[in-house]
A and B are shown apart, each in its own frame.
Chain A
Amino acid sequence: KQEVTQIPAALSVPEGENLVLNCSFTDSAIYNLQWFRQDPGKGLTSLLLIQSSQREQTSGRLNASLDKSSGRSTLYIAASQPGDSATYLCAVRLSGGYQKVTFGTGTKLQVIP
């Protein structure tokens, strides 16, 4: 069974700092990995999707990398801003069972002005 872990569970950083969020998964036979942000009391907003054949994806100040062999993905946020404060979730879709997606429990990020 796929297990997805996000450490740390919470992170507090000063504004302007570059930071890295981690996502680890146990089964490397994945189809894709998706990063989301969730604001309190809201739904999930898709940030980046990395297919299994890709090593990284970039959108603005966000860069997500994928290393299937080590079962790891990282989300890099450059020049953090208070508006980046949210919970960040990663979700892993397995190959074969395309509809089965396993979510991590998230990292709650606070960016302090």
Chain B
Amino acid sequence: NAGVTQTPKFQVLKTGQSMTLQCAQDMNHNSMYWYRQDPGMGLRLIYYSASEGTTDKGEVPNGYNVSRLNKREFSLRLESAAPSQTSVYFCASSAQPTPYEQYFGPGTRLTVT
């Protein structure tokens, strides 16, 4: 089983450039999430999608947009990258309504110069 996959694994952007991080899951999960992980901050929720066709803001949504393309895929877009968006980005999925156990992808390491 592939589980949760993310592309790319690494990316370097210049300030102002845009890019889309891709995420896909093959577990037929309804809910999908995007987190960022920064040293000393823990993981913080950027956006989530409770089900196909819905998206909602998490704790740190500014500077990001998301698209739930279908049940399998959930993408995260940086329209104009800033150095503060240098981070490791994780996608996760979980089943509903129970038990909401989350499964994570391997992450995308993004550097904005």
Contacts and interface: CB of A to CB of B under 8 A. Distances in A.
A25 to B, nearest CB: 13
Contact of B100 (A42, A93, A103): A93
Interface residues of B, number: 26
Contacts of B106: 42-43
A contact patch SS = strand
A104 interface: yes
B104 interface: yes
A32 B100 contact: yes
Contacts of A46: 101-104
B109 to A, nearest CB: 8
Contact of A100 (B58, B92, B103): B58
Given A42-B106, A42-B107, A44-B90, A98 B41 contact: no
B99 interface: yes
A98 B42 contact: no
Interface in B69-113: 90, 92, 98-107
Interface of B: 4, 31, 33, 35, 40-45, 48, 50, 56, 58, 90, 92, 98-107
